[in-house]
Amino acid sequence: MKITANARDYDIEDGAPTVSKFIESLGLDASRCVVELNGRAMRFESFKDVPLKDGDVLEIMQIVAGG
C-alpha cells in the first residue's frame, strides 16, 4: 500500500501497520513526535492504535529540545 509522509511517498507492507510502527520504521522515537493524519492532529496515546490505510497522508514533526 502507498502512503505519503512529509511530502514523500512510501510503499509499505499490507497488514495495517500502526502510526507508531511507521514512525519507528523511520528511526524516530514516536513519543517525541507530533503527527497529523489526513490533516487532523493526533494524540500520542492513539499512535499505537490507529492503523494506516492506503492513501493516508502523514505530517510528522519531531520535537527537539534546545536552549
The three-state DSSP-derived secondary structure of the chain is: CEEEECCEEEECCCCCCEHHHHHHHCCCCHHHEEEEECCEECCHHHCCCCECCCCCEEEEEECCCCC
* Contact between 48 and 11 (Cβ < 8 Å): no
Residue 6 has pLDDT above 80, yes or no: yes
pLDDT given at position 1: 93
- pLDDT tens across 46-55, in order? 999 999 999 9
Domain at 2-62: CATH architecture: Roll (3.10)
**pLDDT digit string, tens, across residues 15-67:** 769 999 999 999 999 999 999 999 999 999 999 999 999 999 999 999 887 76
pLDDT the model gives residue 39 = 97
Grid cell at residue 38: 489526513
For 24-27, the CB contacts below 8 A with 24+ separation are 26/60
